Structure 1
Amino acid sequence: MRMGDEPQPAPGDQPSYNGCDQGKDLRQSPGIDGDIIAKKWKPGRESEEVLRGEEDAGGQRQRPMGSERMEMRKRQMSVHQETVSSSQAQQGVGNRGSNACCFCWCCCCSCSCLTVRNQEDERTRRSSNEIRGAGIPNCEESPTPTLEDVYSWGQSFDKLMTTPAGRNAFREFLRTEFSEENMLFWMACEDLKKEANKNVIEEKARLIYEDYISILSPKEVSLDSRVREVINRNMLEPSQHTFDDAQLQIYTLMHRDSYPRFMNSAIYKNLLQTLSETTAES
């Protein structure tokens, strides 16, 4: 090869310009049944257009018939519609899963059965609040205790708990020790035992469980695992005696732990002194 001679491109090759494929406009590959597939590549575009034709007698490529182009267009449109429909269906199912009601698949807020369900929920919450509000008063109504009554409280914890005035004084002391929930739970169990209506029993049992047994409640009472298991079994069919074991355990806890401190507290001593002075003056 002589100096200055440049290599000649091989037959059939086209030079590229600026690294692009502009020189390769058409590449031919044999197709089905002798057809020729012509792929036309355009710079800067990722898509390709496939042209299918047959060579005529002069070797010129012919474009596909109009029916074939229409068929290809229909296929593309059908694939696109199926993709869009499937995505919308999945989105619709997701929306219905969170908002649909039990009778229909609509997700509108004006659905009649959703309105009925909201009304029932509101009615249930209202009845629960009424039962909870009418359950245990902040202070029981009781006559002023006598000096003999106060002395009897110091002799027996049972006598303290059987009189409203004694429960009020002991409850006031428990409030100073941040353990008033023990007395409230015991009183709620006593109130449950007096109920005869099955529906009210179930509702009161549920409220007692939520207020004093649940570990999520700020007023949870201290119970061992055995008693909690008993309560969980009893809650399957609540009755007046669902919390008997738990009530006895809390009663024993107050008797052994809180009662001795109550007898030495300022609340009990001041009450005893006040009644003693009143009796002496009379």
Structure 2
Amino acid sequence: EERRAAEEPPKHDPTPSTVYEAGTQYAGPASAETLLPMSRHETSPTTVQPASNHRPNACCFCWCCCCSCSWNEDRERAWRASRETKLETIPNCEACTKPTPEEVRGWAQSFDKLMKSPAGRNVFREFLRTEYSEENMLFWLACEELKNECNKHTIDEKARMIYEDYISILSPKEVSLDSRVREVINRKMQEPSSHTFDDAQLQIYTLMHRDSYPRFLNSAIYKSLLQSVSRSSSES
């Protein structure tokens, strides 16, 4: 058997060792490691993505409602601009006379004295602006203005504007109120009156008294004003 195996001619592979196609030498099936990388100008059929109108900055969950949606951003900018002109009856600074040294010193004795003084409210409002909480004073002033209204149509309109400017959770000037007060306001807004926001006004007044007022008395704004009026009084 060994002799017969030696005498048999060697078997040939039916596949030629070399085949030329379009001038390229073929040396057997190519392995994955020897495949040439595709050109940057060629696209694999498996990587072709269908055309889509998906927004580039959209959220993967819901592009039409995402906060990064450009349409929502445009709408929000327009909405914010409209909010700035909703309740412009409150001036940037109340008309008042120059406070006396006794009046300015009295502001440190009582928060009520500060809030009853137009000059005191102006200075305190300037301080709140530095703390990004001016909306508390604006809301309080708007409520005071509403209390002086008697016309039903005017009351309805101003109550709606106050709600949109300071109560709505969508407003950039929303004031901090607890859920109980919000529920009371929502009920009263069905039939607005000049006292619709009384509970909310008291809560914001208390917040300014306990939180902002102590810092105001230690602020450079108050101390510099006190020194200024005291100096003017001594010179005169």
Q: Identify the TM-score tier after normalising by the shorter chain.
A: 0.5 to 0.7
Shift of 1:279: 1.1
Superposed, 1:61-72 pairs within 5 Å as none
Task: Kindly indicate whether the alpha-carbon contact (under 8 Å) linking 1:131 and 1:204 is maintained by their aligned counterparts in 2.
Answer: no
Unaligned runs of 5+ in 2: 1-82
* Pairwise CA RMSD: 1.7
- Larger RCO of the pair (alpha carbons < 8 Å, separation 6+): 2
Q: What is the aligned partner in structure 1 of residue 187 from structure 2?
A: 233
Which one of 247, 252, 255 corresponds to residue 206 of structure 2? 252
State the structure with more CA Rg. 1
CA drift of 1:131 comes to 7.2
Using the alignment, how far apart are the partners of 1:174 and 1:131 within structure 2? 21
2:174 corresponds to which of 206, 211, 220: 220
Aligned-partner Cα distance in 2 for 1:191–1:146: 26
The two structures have a TM-score, normalised by structure 1, of 0.53
Shift of 1:129: 9.3
Q: List structure 1 runs of 4+ shifted beyond 2 angstroms.
A: 128-133
The alignment's TM-score, normalised by the length of structure 2, stands at 0.64
- For 1:22-171, what aligned pairs fall within 5 Å after superposition? 132-133=87-88, 135-171=89-125
CA displacement 1:116-166 (0-9 Å, x = unmatched)? xxxxxxxxxxxx998723x20000010000001101100000010011000
Please state if 1:208 is matched with 2:162: yes
Using the TM superposition, give the Cα deviation of residue 280 of structure 1 relative to its aligned residue in structure 2, in angstroms. Answer: 1.2
Deviations 1:235-255 (A, max 9, x none): 000000000000000000000
C-alpha separation in 1, matches of 2:93 and 2:186: 31
Query: Counterpart of 2:235 in structure 1: which amino acid?
Result: E
Conserved 8 A contact 1:192-1:204: yes
SS in 1 for 2:138: helix
Q: Which of 218, 225, 230 is residue 276 of structure 1 equivalent to?
A: 230
Equivalent residue of 1:252, what SS? helix
Q: Which residue of 2 aligns with 1:57?
A: none
* Residue number among 257, 262, 269 corresponding to 2:216 in the alignment: 262
Q: Secondary structure at the match of 1:204?
A: helix
What is the CA–CA distance in structure 1 between the aligned matches of 2:217 and 2:206, rounded to whole Å?
16
C-alpha distance in 2 between matches for 1:261 and 1:198? 40
Contact preservation (8 Å) 1:227, 1:246: yes
Confirm or deny: 8 A CA contact 2:86 2:165 kept in the other structure: no
Question: C-alpha distance in 2, partners of 1:129/1:152?
Answer: 34
Count of paired positions:
155
- Amino acid corresponding to residue 214 of structure 2 in structure 1: P
